[in-house]
Amino acid sequence: MLQYETKIDAKQLKGKDFLTLLDFSSDEIFYLLELASKMKKEQKDGKISNVLQGRSLGMIFENASTRTRVSFEVGMTQLGGHALFLSPRDLQIGRGEPISDTAQVLSRYVDAIMVRTNSHEKVEELAKYSTVPVINALTDFYHPCQALADLLTIYEHKGSFQGNKLVYVGDGNNVAHSLVIAAAKVGMDIAVATPVGYEMNSDIIEKAQEVAKTTGATILITNDPIEAVSDADIIYTDVWASMGFESEQKEREEAFGPFQVNHSLVSYAKSDYIFLHCLPAHRGEEVTAEIIDDSKHSVIYDEAENRLHVQKAILASVIK
């Protein structure tokens, strides 16, 4: 269990969209983490839950997924509900039906909609027209479910957020954006090192900095991976070419070389650092096999498992 006092009424999240952690207060984030931790323990203890009995989740995937799809689907089942996998190949949306109609029609059938797409605007449009909560399962801008699972993993392994330095090395992408917001919300120091030309979105950095002012977190943005990794408690990286950017793979490999998480780079971190990666990983690119497969530091499978627990907490909280 987390050692944070949360002062929120559980009902206040009912009906709320989960598009970015910016829309959630620090207390609401601590509440979700606490609930995820409780649900994780209950599942391990073999307790059966039926909080979402008779409820359905529509899952629209415009992009591939292993963890997100399986954890949402299993999560609904474990809570007594049901999930439908909806591929745009099969939906009329793939043949040009407007998002607004899709949102309003799906809202008449399902109790929440989860969506993965390259366009954050599409998710916002879906949420605008939907009368049931919409959950962002990754866009070009954000990956909030991942960041929540990352927070839970960090808390489990480090015992607190404050006093820890989280370092993200690599592409200034969706995962980096959500991570910097998550760290700011919980008051954890974060350093982000990206190559020149692959920095995070400046509006998102500004928003995270505003949040950090209220929680005491510090945010260091640099193009120097060694500066970022110095004294790191947690090192995080992600693929160099995200979904939708595969055609840039070759040019990215050149720019990102010095940002590889390898033995030499982690030597600047604290000796008890932990390594996180949202997965899928490309061994030999953003991280070497010796680092990601070193179970003394790497907690990637705990992190992947925590996707299930935090998403159950989100589903149980937002579905009416």
Give 3-state DSSP helix, strand, coil % of the chain, rounded to 5. 45, 15, 40
175 lines the binding site for ligand NVA (CB under 6 A): yes
Distance CA 1, CA 10 (A): 17
Distance CA 127, CA 112 (A): 10
Closest residue to ligand NVA, based on beta-carbon distance: 242
CB 278 to ligand CP: min, Å: 4
Catalytic residues: 116, 143, 146, 238, 278, 307
* Complex with ligand NVA: residue 91 or 243, whichever CB lies closer: 243
Choose one: 159-167, 239-247, 255-263, 296-304; the region binding ligand NVA (CB under 6 A).
239-247
Q: Which of 102, 117, 130, 174 binds ligand NVA (CB under 6 A)?
A: 174
Which helix H or strand E contains 83, and what residues bound it?
strand 82-86
173 lines the binding site for ligand NVA (CB under 6 A): yes
Distance CA 120, CA 124 (A): 6
| DSSP annotation of 200 | P
Which helix H or strand E contains 84, and what residues bound it?
strand 82-86
286 lines the binding site for ligand NVA (CB under 6 A): no
Residues 209-238 vs ligand NVA: string with x where CB under 6 A? -----------------------------x
* Complex with ligand NVA: residue 93 or 176, whichever CB lies closer: 176
Two tokens, residue 60: 């629209």
278 lines the binding site for ligand NVA (CB under 6 A): yes
Amino acid at 54: G
Of 123-142, which residues contact ligand NVA (CB under 6 A)? 138
Q: DSSP of 134-151, one letter per residue?
A: EEES--SS--HHHHHHHH
Residues that bind ligand NVA (CB under 6 A): 138, 173-175, 238-239, 242-243, 278
